[in-house]
Structure formats: structure tokens, C-alpha cells
Amino acid sequence: MDNGLNKDSLVKIPITTLFPGRYKDIDMYLVFNDRPVLYKEAKIPISKEKLAHLYESGITHVLIKKEDLNLFVADLEKEFHAMLNREEPSVHLLKKSFEVLGAASEFMLVVPERESLKSAESMSEEMTSFVEKNPKAAYLVAFTLKKDFKISVHLTNVYYLSLGFAYHLGYRGNDLKRIAIGGFFHDIGKSKLPNNIVKRGGILGPEEVKIYETHTILGYEILKENDLDEYAFAAYEHHELLDGSGYPRGLKRDEIRRETRVIQICNIYDTLTGFRYHKTGEPPFNALVRIRDDFVLKGKMDKYIYAEFVNFLYKNRTE
């Protein structure tokens, strides 16, 4: 143990987000016998050899101190910028970018404060610009999606789906950015919910449902408080439905902006196809049938948005 450190004062870092030659100001730890042990000390960047050793040993995560998280994210941001500027659009690149943005998402959920949120915004904004310059990438996003129980993976899936789908619908510039990054931040309010609600297996009770539904308001408040007002609509509105049966405000039809409808179908699709604590995901076709039957045919979702989303997913499979 190092200076009384314990696992609660450390943050897990996936080794897939580590790059050689960086993190020279950060101590890194591994856990042995349930105790954190120093693996790489500060002042020394992580080497290719150390990274290779981690992969060969089957180690999936290292740990860093929570107070070093912003330093780590700053290095991550630099590597992300370099990666997008040296590679052509491909499934491989999008999967690598997913790992980085997924890590940024995980960190902003651990510390939903201005610096981590702004870093997440900056990286997702850069990815949005990359897709706008390389339209082929918009129709590769379905190949990058991951299945995992983590909220951070869901946020990143919804970001990529919202980015690709909004581009498909003709959104560009600031409008495209607002939808894509709104998708990235739509569930940030869950960072303030109790774990027993977020990670609950099975159906929530009536009181638990009330608590769960506050994530829309909490997310809106987090984004407003951290000068991310232009994305706050996504957190606030993504559970509103055209017939007024949604929450938190029971908005109807034209009261729900079109940008929200784009994010909403991406959110529902990923919720149905992804893993959750109480279920495995459905095949894409089954998910689309459920969306049609449970939302579109019941007047809860925009028919045009649904039809174009099906078309968008088809193009992801064929282009």
C-alpha cells in the first residue's frame, strides 16, 4: 500500500486507453491481494514494454489517484487529437476512438465536474468534426457499438448513433454538434443516482421509479451549472413522448424538439440491444419491431424519424 492508499481513492483506467510515451506525471497502480501496489511512478512515461507486459499478463486495468484524473484526461485528449489527424476513417479507427471516448465518459460519471465535462465535450466535438469531414464514417458507427452493463458504454453508443443518424438526416455544423454531444450527455444525471437504483436487476418499485426519473432533471442541472447549456435539452427531454405520456414534464408533439427525437430513438435502440443488469440485449431487427409496435404505432414516436433510422441502420450494414 502506498501512503495509506486504498482502492476507494483510486480510479480504474482501461489499458486500451493507455498510449506509450505519456502519463509521466501520474503514478499507476495494480491490485495484488486486494491492495494497490505501485506499478509505474510519476516522472517516468509509460513505455511500450510496460504496456506489452500488461497485455501479455491479461491485466485489463491500472489504477490512478482520483486527483490525477484530470491530468490523465488531458493526455488522453492529446492522443485523441493525434489519432484523428493521422488516420483515415475506418472501422478500426472508430473502435479505437470509441475506447477513448468511452473512457472519457466513464471519468465524467465518476467526477461530473467542469473540467472532466469540458474535456468530454472537446473530444466528442473533435470526433463530430472528423465525421463531417469524412462522411463515410457516419455509416460505420453501427460497427463500433459495444455491449456492456456500464452507463459509460451506453452514453458512448448513443453518442455515435446520434452523430451518424443526425449526419444522415442532413444536420451539419453546430446543429450536428449539438445533437451528437447532447447524445453523449443525455444520461449524465445518472451519476447522481444511488447505485442500488442504477444497477438494480429487475423491475423497479414505484418509489424507485420516481427516483430514477429524476435523472433527467439532475442531468439538466449538471449541464447548466457547468456552462454546457446547449446540450441540457437532451438530458431534460429524452424521455418525453409525443402523446404526453413521457417524463419529467409530459411534453407533447411540437413541444418536443426534433433534435430530442433524434437522440431519443438512438437511446431506445441502444437500451433494447445493449446489455443491462437484468437482461441481455435483443437482436437489432427485434429491437426495431419493438420500437415500431410500442412507440410508433401508439403515437409516441415520430414516424419519419423511425423510418429514417431504419434506413440509416441499413446503410451502416451495406456501405
Distance separating alpha carbons of residues 296 and 242, to the nearest angstrom: 10
- What pLDDT score does 179 carry? 98
Q: Please provide residue 103's backbone torsions phi and psi, each rounded to the nearest 5 degrees.
A: -65, -45
Tell me which of 8 and 207 has the higher pLDDT.
207
pLDDT of 16 over the 50 cut: yes
Grid cell at residue 69:
484524473
Question: Which residues are 65's β-sheet partners?
Answer: 10
* Grid cell in block for residue 240: 418525453
Q: What is the distance between the alpha carbons of residues 69 and 188, in angstroms, rounded to a whole number?
A: 18
User: Could you read off the pLDDT of 80-136 as tens digits, one per residue?
Assistant: 998 898 888 888 888 889 988 988 888 888 778 888 899 999 999 999 999 999 999
d(Cα 95, Cα 127) in Å, to the nearest integer? 12
**Residue 31 DSSP one-character state:** E
202, burial (CB in 10 Å: exposed 0-12, middle 13-18, buried 19+): exposed
* E strand residue ranges, 33-135: 35-40, 61-65
Q: What is the pTM of this model?
A: 0.89
pLDDT band at 1 (very low <50, low <70, confident <90, very high): very low
Looking at residue 254, its pLDDT comes to 94
Q: What is the pLDDT of residue 88?
A: 83
Rg of the chain over all Cα atoms, to the nearest angstrom: 20
For 153-195, what is each residue's pLDDT tens digit?
999 999 999 999 999 999 999 999 999 999 999 999 999 999 8
Distance CA 99, CA 77 (A): 12
Q: Which residues, 6+ apart, have CB-to-CB distance to 53 below 8 Å? A: none
Rounded CA gap, 227 and 196, in Å? Answer: 30
pLDDT tens profile 65-85:
988 988 898 888 988 998 898
pLDDT (0 to 100) of residue 278: 58
Whether 15 contacts 62, CB under 8 Å: yes
Question: What is the per-residue pLDDT across 233-260, written as a single tens digit (0 to 9) for each?
Answer: 999 999 999 999 999 999 999 999 999 9
Residue 160, C-alpha cell as written in the block: 455515435
Listed in order, the ranges of the chain carrying CATH 1.10.3210.10 are 87-318
The DSSP secondary-structure symbol of 280 reads P
- Which of 117-126, 169-178, 270-279, 309-318 has the highest average model confidence (pLDDT)? 169-178
DSSP category for residue 293:
I
Q: Per mean pLDDT, which of 19-23, 134-138, 283-287, 293-297 is the most reliable?
A: 293-297
What is the percentage of the chain residues whose pLDDT exceeds 90? 59
pLDDT of residue 319: 47
- For residues 283 and 293, which has the higher predicted lDDT (pLDDT)? 293
* Fold of the CATH domain 87-318: Hypothetical protein af1432 (1.10.3210)
Give the pairing type, strands 28-32 and 10-14: unpaired
- List of E strands, 136-249: none
User: What cell does 85 get?
Assistant: 489527424
Q: Does the structure show a pLDDT above 50 at 150?
A: yes
Instruction: Decide if 207 contacts 96 (C-beta within 8 A).
Output: no
Q: Is the pLDDT of residue 318 over 70?
A: no
Who has greater pLDDT, 167 or 146?
167
140: nearest Cα among 182, 103, 95:
95
pLDDT value at residue 175: 97
